[in-house]
Amino acid sequence: MIEQKLIVIDDDKITHFILKKMFERNQFFQSPTFFEKATDAISFLKEEYKSSERYLIFLDINMPVMNGWQFLDEVSNLFSNSNLSVVMISSSSDEIDATKASKNKFVIHFITKPLTNDDLLVIQEKCKNAI
């Protein structure tokens, strides 16, 4: 079990359900926090963030109000610590998105939906290496 907090930001409730079941089945995290709006996740981080804890954020790119790129911009303005890791998830396989994600200091992985068990294993390894 990875010792960090997990946050999922995706406007699709079905994705929340699927990820919750995958996390439980793979014992990936004990109690992930889910948000449908990136703005709510920003508010949560502003209130709950602790520099002594690690955060893994699964972030959808295409969302209303604040998309994944805007979220990353806001996070970059608020937090400079290396204890935030982001996994970008998208229903689009646009290579431009993958390239843009790879250039962001917080992004450790880019996944095209649907997420698989193999994806979780890769993310677990990347998280271990980041500690």
Evaluate the CA torsion angle 11, 99, 101, 4 in order and state its sign.
Answer: positive
Q: How far is CA 99 from CA 46, 57, 71, 107, 118, in A?
A: 28, 18, 17, 11, 21
Count structural domains, the chain: 1
Domain housing 110: 5-130
Say if residues 117 and 22 touch (Cβ distance below 8 Å).
yes
**Per-residue confidence in pLDDT tens, the chain, 131 aa:** 445 789 999 999 999 999 998 888 877 766 899 999 999 999 999 998 887 888 999 999 999 999 999 999 999 988 876 788 999 999 887 889 999 999 999 999 999 988 888 998 888 888 776 65
pTM of the model: 0.91
- The CATH number given to whatever domain includes residue 58 is 3.40.50.2300
